[in-house]
Amino acid sequence: MNKKRIAIFGVLDSLTGRLVELLNRLGTYEICFFISVNELPKIDAQYEHSVRPHNRTEFPIGNSIYGREIFIGDDYINRLREMQIEACFVIEDDQLLRSQIIEDLNKDGIKALSYIDPSTVLGGNNRLGPGTIIFPNCYLGYKTDTEVGSIIQPGCLIEHHSVIGSYVNINPRLTTGGFVKIEDFAQINISVEIINRIVIGRRTVIGAGSLVLENCDSRSLYYGRPAVFVRSI
């Protein structure tokens, strides 16, 4: 079987590493190289391992990770052309950067790939936008849609007739009722619960473990059980 040649934007082990593992299990893609638009930070791997439960977190070594090259810089379109790459996964954690990358790819006719893990259950009649990444063991209810470039981490349950906007970051174990709207560039942290018919505003952050009972304004931080306004961001 001929594997599809791709590149992946992003080098953060907690996101990119998980996607690489899942893609390797599928066996349908050849990962040619990784791309970091920004310069790689200088990391003291020994120290970083010392403050983690074990020493198996992957960090870039020189200009490589997972045994493959990291292309660094903002001239990635030319690099993709040179390597004849026609499709990429974009799992860059920075939402604004992710949006710029996907816009650049679209302008040049390079496809932003979606990944929907086989263990994820779709309730039916779902519309999933380009560049959507959904990790294992999620449920998207009937007529729940995603727009462009959002990342949904494991164990999320998003009920019927809901909308996840563009470039949203959803951390593990979100649970929502139906008719929920999460607007563009919002971030939902771990183990959040949102009741039905709630709107989470654009670029708003919901703190870990929060219970959201009322609409949340744009560009704001909310936290608590029930979630309350903390500050503008």
Indicate the pLDDT class of residue 10, thresholds 50, 70 and 90: very high
Total number of domains constituting the chain: 2
Q: Do 163 and 104 belong together in one domain?
A: no
- pTM here is 0.96
Q: Do 100 and 132 belong together in one domain?
A: no
Q: Do 119 and 232 belong together in one domain?
A: yes
CATH of the domain at 84: 3.40.50.20
Q: Do 88 and 169 belong together in one domain?
A: no
Residues 206 and 229: their CA atoms lie apart, in Å, by 10
| Contact indicator for 58, 13 with CB cutoff of 8 Å | yes
| Domain membership of residue 35 as a residue range | 4-112
| pLDDT tens digits along 165-212 | 999 999 999 999 999 999 999 999 999 999 999 999 999 999 999 999
For 22, phi and psi rounded to 5 degrees?
Answer: -70, -40
Q: Do 146 and 63 belong together in one domain?
A: no
Q: Do 21 and 108 belong together in one domain?
A: yes
* Whether pLDDT at 1 is above 80: no
| pLDDT tens digits along 121-166 | 999 999 999 999 999 999 999 999 999 999 999 999 999 999 999 9
* pLDDT in the model for residue 122: 98
